[in-house]
Amino acid sequence: MILEDAVEDGHLDHNPARGKRMRVRVPTPSRTFLEIDELAALIDAAAGQDIALGQIPAPAELGLTAAMVAQLFAQGKQPSQIAKQLGLAKSTVAYHLSRLGLKAGRGYVGRRVVIEVLGRSGVRASELCDIKIGHLRLHDPAGARFHIPDAKTESGIREVQMSLDLVEAIVEHIDRLRRIGAPTGPDDYLIPNLRGARMDRQRVGEIVGEAATRAGELLTKRGLPPLPNTTPHTLRRTYVSIALLANSFDVKWVMDQVGHADSKMTMDVYAQLQQRAKRDHGAHIDELVRQARVQLRTPEETASNASIGTAIGTGGPKSPISAPDRAAADDRKHASEQAESDMARPGFEPGTPRFSAIAVPSILLAPGAYIGAAFSVAPSPVP
């Protein structure tokens, strides 16, 4: 663009950066979304982190002052707030916190509600940071919503509908803010930082990453794979995927809900969902191959297999031999017959008999157990 301006201003005769060969193709990063059970694991991990803030590893015997400091700290208050409420010096509060093994600055900020809002409404991290309590409309549980007054695009200024579970999580969060003495007026932020001011989106990313790490540890202990790289935008795409499934792929409604001016990202998630919905196609392929194998058998082979199955007890409903074992035995039988014949069956390429094979019958040891057919292979002269 700079060189193009130089051409227009007469400083250059032509733009050396114009042309197909000069175009740099930047690979698109892989973007995915969480499965529904992975989102549930992430929410539970964040809730556990909130609860852990209230668990004070206090010594067996505490003095009155240390006990009061521990109690207020468990409520999510900062050392400065504790010192002001108890009339103590900040150094005294810091001493008791150090003695209790507590790290100052670990006050409650609402880790669970951060994940809940991102995963259940699809808002951007910056939009989450801008939500104020006065933007919420919680009086109607069936039509609860919140207002996004500012966004990247004009379509981003919107009303976002809330589910009942999200309303419950937000009400619990606001109640906890009141208990720790945090401001909860209409002009106060829904997700404040530790000082009660606006939280920045980098901190939101840290909260999501820490919750994902904890969720991955818990999943690994259960023998499950950990979560992929999870960011606030991952949760936005996760919401799009869940909303599409829950609303019968109503793309227009989902676009309005997340504030998309362009349907590119919505349709990208839609395409990934369609791809995941086709995971059972492999089973259909196997079924088609099994049907083709049956069609290749001659009537004599079908009658022979049926008589053998009846003789060894495989023709009834309580056959001790599974279908894959019978199919494998049939394949071995077909292979031995083809090896003994110089002529290929109709529909197959004529084979060149380079080896002669003598088949040894399978031996039935017990119901459901076989010794596979053994072959003695000797080279035969090539005509």
The pLDDT tens digits of the residues spanning 200-248 come to 999 999 999 999 999 999 999 999 999 999 999 999 999 999 998 888 8
pLDDT > 80? residue 312? no
Contact 209, 230 (CB under 8 A): yes
> What pLDDT does 343 receive?
45
Tokens of 253: 């409604």
Domains located in the chain, CATH noted: 56-107 (1.10.10), 111-275 (1.10.443.10)
Contact 108, 174 (CB under 8 A): no
User: Which residues lie across from 145 on neighbouring strands?
Assistant: 137, 161
Which DSSP letter does residue 53 get? Answer: T
Contact 116, 39 (CB under 8 A): no
> What pLDDT does 271 receive?
81
Distance CA 172, CA 51 (A): 13
* Candidate from 40-49, 119-128, 326-335 with smallest mean pLDDT: 326-335
* Cα–chain center distance at 182: 34
> What pLDDT does 59 receive?
53
Which amino acid would we find at residue 189? Y
Strand, coil or helix: what is 173?
helix
* Closest of 70, 167, 166, 170 to residue 110, by C-alpha: 170
* Closest of 72, 102, 76, 75 to residue 87, by C-alpha: 72
pLDDT digits (tens, 9 = 90+) for 99-116: 776 665 556 789 999 999
Span 33-50, mean pLDDT? 92
* Closest of 95, 87, 100, 131 to residue 113, by C-alpha: 131
Which DSSP letter does residue 34 get? Answer: -
Band the pLDDT of 162: cuts 50, 70, 90: very high
Alpha carbon distance, N-terminus to C-terminus of the chain: 73
Distance CA 36, CA 51 (A): 23
Strand, coil or helix: what is 185?
coil
pLDDT > 80? residue 57? no
Higher pLDDT, 341 or 192: 192
pLDDT > 70? residue 366? no
> What pLDDT does 70 receive?
80
Distance CA 96, CA 228 (A): 39
> What pLDDT does 346 receive?
44
Position of tokens 């072959």? 375
159: enclosing H helix or E strand: strand 158-161
pLDDT digits (tens, 9 = 90+) for 244-300: 888 888 888 999 999 887 777 788 888 877 776 666 667 778 888 888 888 887 777
> What pLDDT does 344 receive?
43
